[in-house]
């Protein structure tokens, strides 16, 4: 398999608010990421999952995939963002065992209408790599920017945990540890009442 166009130190698969320090050191995750080449992957194979309190939701617009490449040649540089479509279905296969009695998992993926644009980005990256024009200045990031609540939370200190899938119908592996929800909203302390109710969240 061709090597990814970016250097590993610049591969940023990020937690809420790009909190890189929270990324897991799980050996399987590191192995899967070392094998992952997003520019030869099928767009519908790339998936993200968020585990949190069952009364918290991520909605379409809350999870974003960013793909960027710096280059001295402006025709080869790009910085593209993809809003991931959130699926409210049951927990993906192998994540069911990760759930506590008050947890649930929401999955997100590149929306069908965005997959052709993602393929265009993949082709740009492959051309840049073939011309040795990247110099390791690529970025792939996944961020979760907000959540809303549908009812009272089961914990006074709720958390989120992020997972990723890189193979169609494959298992999800952890990208992060348990991250305090206060970090998603950028606050040192956060009460449940400060989390917006889902009915109050406007479509993006």
Q: What is the pLDDT of residues 32-59, one digit of tens each?
A: 777 777 778 889 888 888 888 989 888 8
3-state secondary structure 22-76: HECCCHHHHHHHHHCCCCCCCHHHCEEEEEEECCEECCCCCEEEEEEECCCCCCC
- Average pLDDT along the chain: 74
- 3-state SS, residue 6: strand
CB 140 within 8 A of CB 13: yes
Q: pLDDT band at 10, cuts 50/70/90?
A: very low
Sign of CA dihedral 87, 43, 141, 163: positive
CB 82 within 8 A of CB 114: yes
Residue 145: CB atoms within 10 Å = 15
C-alpha to C-alpha distance for 49 and 103, rounded to whole angstroms:
13
Instruction: 99-105: list long-range contacts, CB under 8 Å, 24+ apart.
Output: 99/51, 102/53, 102/54, 102/154, 102/155, 103/51, 103/52, 103/53, 103/54, 104/51, 104/52, 104/53, 104/54, 105/49, 105/50, 105/51, 105/163
At which residue do the structure tokens 């606050």 appear? 187
The tens digit of pLDDT for each residue in 147-187 reads 888 888 887 778 888 888 888 878 888 877 888 877 767 66
- More confident site: 153 or 87: 153
C-alpha to C-alpha distance for 26 and 29, rounded to whole angstroms:
5
Predicted pLDDT at 116: 93
């Amino acid at each position: 398999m061709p090597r990814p166009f970016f250097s590993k130190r610049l591969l940023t698969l990020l937690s809420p608010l790009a909190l890189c320090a929270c990324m897991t050191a799980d050996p399987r995750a590191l192995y899967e990421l070392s094998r992952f080449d997003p520019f030869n992957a099928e767009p519908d194979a790339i998936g993200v999952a968020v585990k949190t309190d069952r009364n918290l939701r991520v909605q379409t617009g809350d999870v974003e995939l960013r793909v960027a490449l710096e280059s001295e040649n402006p025709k080869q540089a790009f910085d593209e963002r993809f809003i991931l479509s959130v699926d409210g279905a049951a927990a993906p296969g192998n994540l069911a065992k990760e759930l506590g009695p008050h947890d649930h998992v929401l999955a997100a993926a590149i929306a069908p209408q965005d997959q052709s644009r993602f393929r265009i980005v993949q082709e740009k990256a492959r051309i840049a790599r073939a011309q040795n024009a990247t110099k390791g200045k690529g970025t792939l990031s996944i961020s979760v920017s907000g959540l809303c609540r549908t009812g009272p939370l089961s914990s006074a200190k709720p958390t989120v945990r992020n997972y990723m899938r890189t193979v169609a119908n494959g298992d999800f592996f952890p990208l992060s540890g348990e991250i305090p929800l206060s970090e998603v909203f950028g606050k040192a302390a956060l009460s449940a009442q400060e989390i917006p109710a889902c009915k109050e969240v406007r479509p993006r």
